[in-house]
Structure 1
Amino acid sequence: MEGDDLQDHNKLPELNLDAKQAQGFLTFFKKLPIDLKAVRFFDRRDYFTAHGENATFIAKTYYHTTVLRQISNGSDALSSVSVSKTMFETIVRDLLLERTDHSLELFEGSGSNWRITKRGTPGNLGSFEDILFANNDMQDSPVIVALIPNFREPGCTVGLGYVDLAKRVLGIAEFLDDSHFTNVESALVALGCKECVLPTEITKLTECKPLHDVMSKCGVMVTEIKKAEFKGGDVAKRLGRLVKGSIEPVRHLVSAFKFAPMALGVLLSYAELVDDETNCGNFSICQYNLNDYMRLDSDAMRALNVMESKTDANKNFSLFGLMNRTCTAGMGRRLLRMWLKQPLMDVTEINARLDLVQAFVEDTGFRLDMRQHLKRICDIQRMMRQVEKRRASLLHIVKLYQRRQL
C-alpha cells in the first residue's frame, strides 16, 4: 500500500508556474491566516496541491516520503505536494471521518486570486459531504457540541448545546458537574461528539485542564472561539427560522436555561445554519437529559467493546460488529450506533423495544418479509438532505419515488 501511494505520488504532474504566476500565488499564500489545525488544498482542475507545513504533513502521512517539490527559490521557496483526485478523496475521508485533529479547506482560483469553496471539520462536514458519501454510506452522524463551563457557580454549571446535521436535530442542556467533568464525558460519549466549541478565554483557566483531558480521551476535536461570540439574547429568534412549528415552545425551552442558549447560539453561527435558506423550518429541537440514558464514559465504552476499533481482530470483536449484520443502509447503522451509545433507563421504553424484538423472534414470516423490504430501502435521511440542499439529481428523486412504492 505504501509503495502504491509513493508510485502515485511520483506519477503526479509537477506544478509548473511561470514567474508571474508563482509570485502571485506566493503573495496570496503568505497572507493566509495561521491556523495550525487547517489543512488547505488548492484545486488545480486535474489534481490538487498542498503547500508549506501542509505539504510536509501530506507527504509524510499519506505518501510516506519527505521528498517535496518547491515553488520559487531562495528565501521565497515554498514546499509543494501534488495530490490526485482519488487520493484527495482518501485524505478527505481520513481527516474528517477517522481523525479529529484537523479542519479542511479547499480553495479555487488562479494566480493571486483564490477563494474558499469548501470548508469542513469532523463535527461539521459541510460541503465535503458530496465527496465523502458519493460512493459510500454515512456510517455515523457527526455531532458538534458547544460548552460553557461556569466556574463561579457551586460545583461548576455547564451549559451545553449540540447540532446533529445528519438528523437535523438541535439539542440543549444544562447541568452541574464535578472537577473531572464526568457528566460532560458521558454526554460526549452518548451524543457521539466529534468536535467541541469552547470559549477561548475559559480554555486557558487551570480548572479547564481536566476538560481538555476529557476531550482527548473521547477523541474530540476542540475549536476555540472568543467568548464574545457566545451570545444567547437572540437565540430564540434565530431558532424560530430553523425549527419547524410554532416559536412559542422554542422560547419556553430556551428561557428555562441560563448558559445553554449561549452554547447553542454560537453553534448556529459557527455552522452557518441560519444563513442557509435550505435549513429554514427543517430542524427540530429537544432538551437533552443525562438521566434518560445509562452514563458511560470513554473507558467503559472501550472496556466493553461497544463500538468497533482499528485494533479489532475482526468485525465480531465489538458489540456493534455483532449486531450490524442486518443493517443494509447507513441510516440503520447510524440508528444502531445511537442505541448502543445511549442505553435506555426508562422501563416503559425498554419494554416497548423488547416487545418489538419479541414480535420479530416469534413471527418468522413477519421477520423475513421485513428483512426483504429493508434491503430495498436506501439512506432516505441523506437523500432528503440532498433534496433540501437542492443538490439532488434525477437519480435521487427516482430512488425516493421507488422506495415510496414499497
Structure 2
Amino acid sequence: MDPALGPPNAMAEKRDELTPMMAQYHDLCARYDDAIVLFQVGDFYETFCGAAERTARLLEIALTSREDSTGEYPMAGIPIDNAESYIEDLLEAGYRVAVADQVEEPGETSGVVERAVTRVITPGTLTEDELLASDDNNFVAALARENERLGLAFLDVSTGDFYATSATARESIADELSRFDPSEAVVGPDAPTTPVPDDCMVTPFDARAFDRERVGAKLAAYFRNPDALLATDAEIRACGALLSYAEYVRGGEHEGERGDDERVDAVFEGDAGQRLEYITQLTRYDPREYLLLDAVALRSLELFEPRTVHGRDDATLIGVLDETASALGGRRLRDWLRRPLLEPARIEARHDAVAELKAAVQQREELHERLREVYDLERLIGRISRERANARDLRSLRDTLAVVPEIRAQLADADCGRLRKLHETLDPLSDVRELIEDAIVAEPPIEITEGGIIAEGYDNDLDEVRATARDGKQWIDDLEARERERTGIDSLKVGHNSVHGYYIEVTNPNLEAVPDDYQRRQTLKNSERFVTPELKSREDEIVGAEQRADDREYELFCEVRREVAAEVERVQALADALANLDALVSLATVAAQYDYCRPDLLEREGRDGLEVDIEGGRHPVVERTQESFVPNDANLRPERRLAVITGPNMSGKSTYMRQVAQIVLLAQVGSFVPAQAARLTPVDRIFTRVGASDDIAGGRSTFMVEMDELATILRDADEGSLVLLDEVGRGTSTADGMAIAQAITEHLHDAVGATTLFATHHHPLTELADDLAAAFTLHFEVDQDGGEVVFYHEIAPGAATGSYGVEVATAAGVPEDVVDRARELVADAAAAESGADGNAGERTDDTDSSDRPRADADGESAAPATADGGDIPADVAAELRALDLAHLTPVEALTELDRLKQLLEE
C-alpha cells in the first residue's frame, strides 16, 4: 500500500483499535492500494491521512482534521454533487480513483453504514459524460508479447469501439499508439513499455489476464470464432486482457461488496454479471492498409494539436475540417483523419459522396440541421447496456430515432453508391422508438427511483395504484373543508411534513372546539397539531400506494431499459451510419464554403514512385488564419521526385512543404482539397523532419532528436513515401551540417527513391540538382525595396540568389548596430570569397583600404574599431575573422553576432 494514498503504516499496525468507520476506510485502501479512495461520509467524499494531504494539495481544497479514540489525523473532502470536476483533476494528475459509496441507508442500520467501491475510475476507462470529450474517443490500450510479435488492442469503454493489430517492430507499435493516442495502457508481464507515450498512464494488470487459455475463453464469450477475427496469438492475448481489465473496472458498479481480489477472480471465472454487452464488434486491421503517420508527422502537420504552446485551437487540420453536427460525426471525422485510406476505390467512394453533397446545397443544409438533433448514440447505448442510463437518456434515444425517417427521406434519391448504402442502413428502429414513447413521459425527472417516469396507460397495475394514491390525496384535499364545517373552526388547516406526515392544525384560541376524536400529534408555540383515526388510516393508504407506485415505476423502467439494451447491435449500426453521413456532410460543407476541388487519383503501378501534381494549392489552415494567401503549384513525379527548396526565412518554404503533405493527406481521407486542381498517387507514408525540438528529460539535444528522426526516415522510407525535410544539419558545425545534408540528399535520391521536399539554407546543395537525375531546385521569390525585403510567397524554378538573413533580422527588430555590423561582415566575406576565387592569397585592387583591418607597427592586423572609436579586443576580433559567414544560416549568424556583442559590452 502506498502511504501517500492511504493510511500510514502505523494505522495498519493498530487495525483492531480503529473505529468501525476508519477500519472500513483502511480496508478499502488496502484493497485498492493503487488508487485514491473517495470515501462517502454524508454529502461528501472524504479522504484521510496521507491521501488527505495529497488530495488537498492537488485539488487546492482545505485540509482539516478528525479526532477519535485513536488520535487525530488529516482529512480532506469534496462535495458529492460536484465530484466529477475534482475527479477529473485527480485523473489529470496521474491517479486512479476508487469511489466508495454508502450502500446502506443510514436510518436502516444501527451500526456503521456499510460502504463499498462502486466505481474504479482510470484515465482510459471513463464513461462519465462530464469527464469525456464529446468529439473524440478515449481509448485504453493493451500490449502483449508472443515470441517476437507484439499484440496491440484499443478499446473505448464509453462507446465500445474495439481495434486490434500486431507487429514485430516496436517502432510500428509506437506509431499506432501515437495514432490512437490512448489515455492508459495495460501492459502484459513480458511486454515492453518503451513504445508507450510519456503522457499515457501505464497500468500493470494481473498476469492471468494475458494467459492464452483464459483470453481465448474470454473472447469466446463476446465473439463467435474470435480466432478467425484475429491474426496472431499476440493480438488474442492483448484483446482478451483488455476485456478482462474493462470488466474488472466496470465490476465495481454492481459488485461493490466484493474485495479487489474477489472481483478479479470473478472476471477470470467468466462471471456473466461482468460482461460488457455493448461490445459487439472487434475490428482487426493492418497498419499497412492506411497511410502511416508517426508521432513526429502528427505533430509536424498539426493534425490535432497546434505545434506552438499558445497556438489557436482551430489552427489545426481537424479544426478547419470539422463542420460536423453531432458527437458521432466529430469522432468519425477524427478517425478518418487519423487513418487515411490507401485503396483508391474506397477513397473514390467517399469523393463521390462529397461531390454529390457539395452540389446539392439544399439537401446538404437540411441534412446538417437534422443531424444536429442526433444525440450521442454510441455512448447512450453504452450507458443503457451498463444499466447506468436514466429516463432522460431513453428519451434522448427516442428523440434521435424520431429524426431518422427525415434523414432517410433526404437520401431517398441519392445517386452515388455510398449515399444509397447509407439510406439502406439507416434503420429508424420504430419498435424501440414506440416502446420508449409509450413507456416514458416526455419530460421525466433525473432520479429513477422516485416516480414520475412511466406514462399513464402503459401499465394497468401502476394505473390502479396511482388511482388509489390520487383518490387518497383528493380525500385529504376535501378534509379541510369538511373539518371546518364539522368543528366550526374557520382557521383549521390540513398539512403535511416528512417527519409527522398528515396533520390537522388548530390555533390555541380554538382548542376548546377540538372534537374528542382528535389525537394530539405535535405542540407548537401558537397551535396544536392533531390526527384522527380516519386520517391516519388514509395516510397509511396514501403513503403505501405512493411507495408501491414508485417501486412499480422503477421495476417497469428497468424492464424497458433492458428491452432497449437488447437492441444494442441495431442501435450501434444506426450510430455508425449517422456518423459516416455526418462526416461526409462536413467534408462537403468545407469543400463548398472554401472552394476545394476534387482530386484525381492515379493508380500506382508496382513499385513505381509517386505523382503529386497540384495546381494552385493552398495551405488549408494558414489560408483560414491569414487575410490573404498566395497559391502555389507542385509537380513531383518519379523522374522529378526530389526538390531542393531555397529562399529566405519567412518566405514560405515550411508552409509550402506542409501544404503539399496536407493536400495529399486530405485527398486520402476522402476530402476535397484546397487547390484549383490536383492529380495524386496515394501515398503509403508521410515522414517529416521539420522544426527544432529537444528531449531534455530523455537526455537528447536538438541535434540528436533531428538525427533520430532522420535515421527513421532513411531506414523506413521507400518509393511510396512522401518526405519533408526542413533545415537538416543545423545543430552542428557548418561543415558537418552541410556534409550530412548532402549525404542524406544523395541517399534519398539514389537508395530510397522517396518523393522528397527538402528546404535548406545550405545553398551548395542546389548544385546537386545538376548531378542527381531526379533532383531539381525551387526557390521563393523575394525583392528588396529601400533595404527592406518584400516576400512574394511565390515558388519558382531554380535556386535563390541569397538568404536575406540580415534583412529579416532588421524586420524582426534586431538592434541597428548589430545589423550594421552583420552587413559589414557579409560584405567582407563576399569580398574575401571573390578574391579567393580570382587569385588565391592576393587582395583585389578594388578593395577599399578603409574596410581592411588596421595594421600595427609590426605589420600585424590591429583590432577593428568599434562604433565609438574604441578597439575591439583581440580575442573577439579573432573570432570575427574566423567566422565562415558564407556557410552560416541567418539564424546562426545572428546568434554568433549577439554573443560577440555581449562580449564587447562586458
1:41 positional shift: 0.8
Residue correspondence of structure 1 range 12-91 to structure 2 within 5 A: 23-31=19-27, 32-33=29-30, 37-63=34-60, 68-72=63-67, 77-85=72-80, 87-91=82-86
AA partner of residue 335 (structure 1): R
Query: Does 1:271 pair with 2:246?
Result: yes
AA partner of residue 120 (structure 1): I
Greater RCO structure (CA 8 Å; 6+ sep): 1
Conservation of the 8 A alpha-carbon contact between 1:189 and 1:341? no
AA partner of residue 138 (structure 1): S
Residue correspondence of structure 1 range 102-141 to structure 2 within 5 A: 102-109=95-102, 111=112, 113-125=114-126, 129=128, 132=131, 138-141=134-137
CA distance in 2, matches of 1:393, 1:314: 37
1:173 matched residue in structure 2: 165
Residue correspondence of structure 1 range 155-166 to structure 2 within 5 A: 156-166=148-158
AA partner of residue 389 (structure 2): A
Write out per-residue CA displacement over residues 200-247 of structure 1, whole angstroms, 9 at most, x where no aligned residue.
4x36xxxx4xx33x4243x2110012434311224344323323xxx2
1:187 positional shift: 1.3
Count residues in correspondence: 356
1:86 positional shift: 5.0
1:367 matched residue in structure 2: 364
Query: Does 1:185 pair with 2:165?
Result: no
1:316 matched residue in structure 2: 314
1:149 pairs with one of 145, 149, 155: 145
Q: CA RMSD in A?
A: 3.1
CA distance in 2, matches of 1:106, 1:316: 36
Conservation of the 8 A alpha-carbon contact between 2:208 and 2:214? no
Conservation of the 8 A alpha-carbon contact between 1:89 and 1:132? yes
Distance 1:339 1:26, change over 3 A: same
2:227 matched residue in structure 1: 251
1:130 positional shift: 6.2
CA distance in 2, matches of 1:94, 1:23: 30
CA distance in 2, matches of 1:276, 1:322: 44
Distance 1:227 1:189, change over 3 A: same
CA distance in 1, matches of 2:19, 2:69: 13
Conservation of the 8 A alpha-carbon contact between 1:27 and 1:112? no
AA partner of residue 402 (structure 2): Q
2:348 matched residue in structure 1: 351
Counterpart of 2:100 in 1: which secondary structure?
Answer: strand
Conservation of the 8 A alpha-carbon contact between 2:123 and 2:183? yes
Moved more, 275-284 or 336-345: 275-284
Q: Which has the larger radius of gyration?
A: 2
CA distance in 1, matches of 2:305, 2:89: 16
Distance 1:387 1:306, change over 3 A: same
CA distance in 1, matches of 2:390, 2:25: 36
TM-score normalized by the length of structure 1: 0.77
Counterpart of 1:197 in 2: which secondary structure?
Answer: strand
1:230 pairs with one of 181, 192, 210: 210
AA partner of residue 174 (structure 1): S
CA distance in 1, matches of 2:209, 2:246: 13
Conservation of the 8 A alpha-carbon contact between 1:149 and 1:158? yes
Counterpart of 1:193 in 2: which secondary structure?
Answer: coil
Give identity over the alignment, percent: 21
1:257 positional shift: 1.5
CA distance in 2, matches of 1:190, 1:390: 32
Conservation of the 8 A alpha-carbon contact between 1:307 and 1:318? yes
2:219 matched residue in structure 1: 239
AA partner of residue 121 (structure 2): G
1:363 positional shift: 1.9
Conservation of the 8 A alpha-carbon contact between 2:166 and 2:235? yes
Conservation of the 8 A alpha-carbon contact between 1:172 and 1:264? yes
Unpaired segments ≥5 residues, structure 2: 1-15, 103-110, 251-269, 404-906
Distance 1:108 1:36, change over 3 A: closer
Write out per-residue CA displacement over residues 252-290 of structure 1, whole angstroms, 9 at most, x where no aligned residue.
234x42222122222222111764466347511221211
Counterpart of 2:47 in 1: which secondary structure?
Answer: strand
Distance 1:265 1:363, change over 3 A: same
Residue correspondence of structure 1 range 267-346 to structure 2 within 5 A: 267-272=242-247, 275-276=272-273, 279-280=276-277, 282-308=279-305, 311-324=309-322, 326-346=323-343
Distance 1:26 1:44, change over 3 A: closer
1:116 positional shift: 0.5
Counterpart of 1:338 in 2: which secondary structure?
Answer: helix
1:215 pairs with one of 187, 196, 200: 196
CA distance in 2, matches of 1:344, 1:54: 48
CA distance in 2, matches of 1:143, 1:163: 5
AA partner of residue 262 (structure 1): R
Distance 1:183 1:47, change over 3 A: same
1:158 positional shift: 0.5
Distance 1:281 1:79, change over 3 A: closer
1:371 positional shift: 1.1
Unpaired segments ≥5 residues, structure 1: 1-19
1:340 positional shift: 2.1
CA distance in 1, matches of 2:242, 2:278: 17
Query: Does 1:261 pair with 2:236?
Result: yes
